[in-house]
Amino acid sequence: MNAPLPLNDAPAEAAAQISTLPDDGPAKISARNVSVFYGAKRAIDDVSIDVPNDYVTAFIGPSGCGKSTFLRSLNRMNDTIANARVEGEILIDGQDIYRSGMDVVQLRARVGMVFQKPNPFPKSIYENIAYGPRIHGLTTSKNELDGIVETSLQRAGLWDEVKDRLTDSGTALSGGQQQRLCIARAIAVDPEVILMDEPCSALDPIATARIEELIDELRGRYAIVIVTHSMQQAARVSQRTAFFHMGKIVEYGTTSDIFTNPREERTKDYITGRYG
């Protein structure tokens, strides 16, 4: 006679691993089982990660592995791409940002974004910063607005360079200054998270160093996530690193562990320059 089949005969499907570190405290952003599709093509495949509040988190990985796609899903920027579709759950402070009724304009103020190519509005330096607080109703007086403009530019390390030319066009600044203007613009609406998609790739080494210093100064005030192709940059500016490959997170850990003591072969190969 056959022995009765055990009830749980089939192995339970392995739960997708959550990229998180036990000592990091409550996550600012929690992504659970996130997949992102462009039409039928899956660009992100079942990614789960906790992004901490107090650190800079770097997303690294070879070209086309999905870093920018995943970054854009964290403030619903993928909504602006016609054939993009996000599955799974993304929570900020425990709240699902894809829930119906979510105010996406508000979300993108809370979760600001800085792009590869600086993209100031073709308006004055002052207006570049003042526009957001004005449309979000953050101020009631011109004095208050002036204060926000000054504080934002100070935090972005740009005030001293532009305080005497606030009426000049933002587009007349150098590339590095434009990128700091864009960071100031994100800061002006009082965000909680700043997403940066290769923010230095269009900048020279001196402007890059200035942005990296700035990221370090902003750490702790905002949760910061940066996509970068430069492993040196990830090592310099971040404390947490996620290594992406073919739409998945292969390894997540402290930046020093990822760069000095990676567990996975694929991470090792990437950081030693064997591919990517």
Stretch that binds ligand ATP, among 59-67, 145-153, 156-164, 265-273 (CB under 6 A): 59-67
**Near ligand ATP by CB under 6 A: residue from 2, 63, 140, 141:** 63
CB 181 within 8 A of CB 125: yes
Closest CB to ligand ATP among residues 38, 159: 38
The CA–CA distances, whole Å, from 67 to 28, 55, 206, 260, 266 equal 18, 18, 25, 22, 16
Site for ligand ATP in 72-101 (CB under 6 A): 81
Segment near ligand ATP (CB under 6 A), from 62-70, 135-143, 153-161, 261-269? Answer: 62-70
Give the shortest CB-65-to-ligand ATP separation in angstroms.
4
Instruction: Map residues 182-221 to x or -, x wherever contact with ligand ATP holds by CB under 6 A.
Output: ----------------------------------------
Of residues 126 and 252, the one with the C-beta less far from ligand ATP: 252
Q: How far, in Å, CA of 229 to CA of 233, rounded?
A: 8
Q: Is 102 near ligand ATP (CB under 6 A)? A: no
67 binds ligand ATP (CB under 6 A): yes
Q: Which of 20, 24, 37, 38 binds ligand ATP (CB under 6 A)?
A: 38
CA dihedral 108, 112, 117, 122 (to 10 degrees): 70
Which one among 19, 30, 69, 177 touches ligand ATP, defined by CB under 6 A? 69
How far CA 147 is from CA of 27, 112, 135, 266, in Å, comes to: 31, 20, 16, 49
**Interface segment toward ligand ATP; rule CB under 6 A; list 63-71, 137-145, 151-159, 165-173:** 63-71
Q: Please give the residue ranges that form the binding site for ligand ATP (CB under 6 A).
A: 38, 43, 61, 63-69, 81, 229
